[in-house]
Chain A
Amino acid sequence: MSSRRSRSRQSGSSRITDEQISDLVSKLQDLLPEARLRSNDRMPSSRVLQETCDYIRNLHREVDDLSERLSELLATSDMSSAQAAIIRSLLM
């Protein structure tokens, strides 16, 4: 306890412990698609970081593909505000 308090005098964000880091890493692991297959066995942190980077890159690529698809769809349709209202209600 006292060591944590003395560290906080030096810098603002020092109340972080190893336990909190491993907690964050395991939360990250839970978000990865592989976590569902592994029934939450702990992966090494480096593996979690690697998978996280790959997953984010994957998601970026999906968003890019979807953006392209959406821009094509928008180019071919002329959307009136009435149509927009209908589309909005279909999304809800």
Chain B
Amino acid sequence: MASTSSSAAVVEERESGRKRKRGGATGESEGAEEAQPSKWRTRRVHEIYSSKLLDAIRLVRSGSGSPASAAAGTAAAAAADPQSSRAVREAADRALAVSARGRTHWSRAILASHHRRLQAARRARLREPASPPLRHPTSPPGKGPKAPALARKAKVLGRLVPGCRKLPFPALLAEASDYIAALEMQVRAMTALAEVLSTVSASSSGTSSSPA
């Protein structure tokens, strides 16, 4: 596709630019695993995520995915079932968070909220008293945006990125950068998976044996 090849060229520029800046700007050597947005562009992370994604949504298919679909009590998946669509979305997000390797607030927040939901469902079944939800420790006062308009937009941004409502402004910007790069990879991987699945199901439902 023409668009991917041109964007790949842009990506390489971006990546080399970022690496150069990163090397010069700070003295810390964080190795290859640092939380840089450019790491979401590598082939490796795309492959790792695609594999996790495939596993995760196969679980949704079999109905054992999220407590929400289990509570609905129906295993029959209608064609555009909103339940299963939401379950796919949540599974994809969790797989994305896992691929982040716990180095960002947004990824930890996604996994924590899923964990809380599982705990709540488990407790509801066992009828135990629910423990109070863990409060995120209040962040130290950092530099914030000076204009009220900026502060308003920063608040909106904090609500869009999971787990970032109370972050100081600089951390919020860093999280947003990483989150955007991760989301873009998620879109690429899910699109590729949808293409593969539609090709596979088209060819298997058509003729009996011969692949295209």
Contacts and interface: CB of A to CB of B under 8 A. Distances in A.
Nearest to A44: B150
B180 A31 contact: yes
Contacts of B171: 13
Interface residues of A, number: 52
- Interface size of B as a range: 35 or more
B89 A91 contact: no
Interface of A: 11-14, 16-18, 20-21, 23-25, 27-28, 30-31, 36, 45-46, 49-50, 52-53, 55-57, 59-60, 62-64, 66-77, 79, 83-84, 86-88, 90-92
A52 B200 CA distance: 36
Interface stretch (B72-80, B97-105, B107-115, B120-128): B72-80
A74 B79 CA distance: 9
Interface string B146-183: 01011001101100110000001111011011011101
Contact of B143 (A21, A52, A87, A91): A21
Interface in B158-212: 160-161, 168-171, 173-174, 176-177, 179-181, 183-184, 186-187, 189-194, 196-198, 200-201, 204
B116 interface: no
Interface in B11-29: 14, 18, 25
Contacts of B86: 67
Contacts of B140: 11-14
Contact of A46 (B78, B147, B160, B194): B147
